[in-house]
Amino acid sequence: MTTITEAARKTTLVPPSSGEFSSRQPKTIRLYPVSNYTFGTKEAQPEEDPSVSARLQRLQDHYEQFGMRRTCEGILVCHEHGHPHILMLQIANAFFKLPGDYLHPGEGEIEGFTARLNERLAPVNAQYPSDQHTSEWEIGDCIAQWWRPNFETFTYPFIPPHVSRPKECKKLYLINLPKHKVLSVPKNMKLLAVPLFELYDNSARYGSQLSAIPQYLSRYNFEFVDENNVVIGRSPALNH
* pLDDT tens digits along 1-55: 555 556 555 556 777 877 888 788 888 999 999 999 999 999 999 888 888 999 9
Amino acid 109: pLDDT: 97
- Rounded CA separation 59/28 (Å): 38
C-alpha pair distances (Å), 211 with each of 139, 142, 168, 177 = 21, 17, 20, 21
**From its phi and psi, is residue 43 left (phi > 0), alpha (psi between -120 and 50) or beta?**
beta
Closest CA to 89 of 154, 208, 186: 186
Low-confidence ranges of the chain (pLDDT < 50): 126, 130, 240
β 28-31/100-102 pair status = unpaired
pTM, two decimals, is 0.88
Query: CB under 8 Å to 154, separation ≥6 — which residues?
Result: 148
Which residue type is seen at 224? F
The pLDDT of residue 25: 81
At 116 the pLDDT is 96
Domains of the chain: 25-235 (3.90.79.10)
pLDDT at 49: 87
What distance in Å separates the CA atoms of residue 192 and residue 210, rounded to the nearest whole number?
13
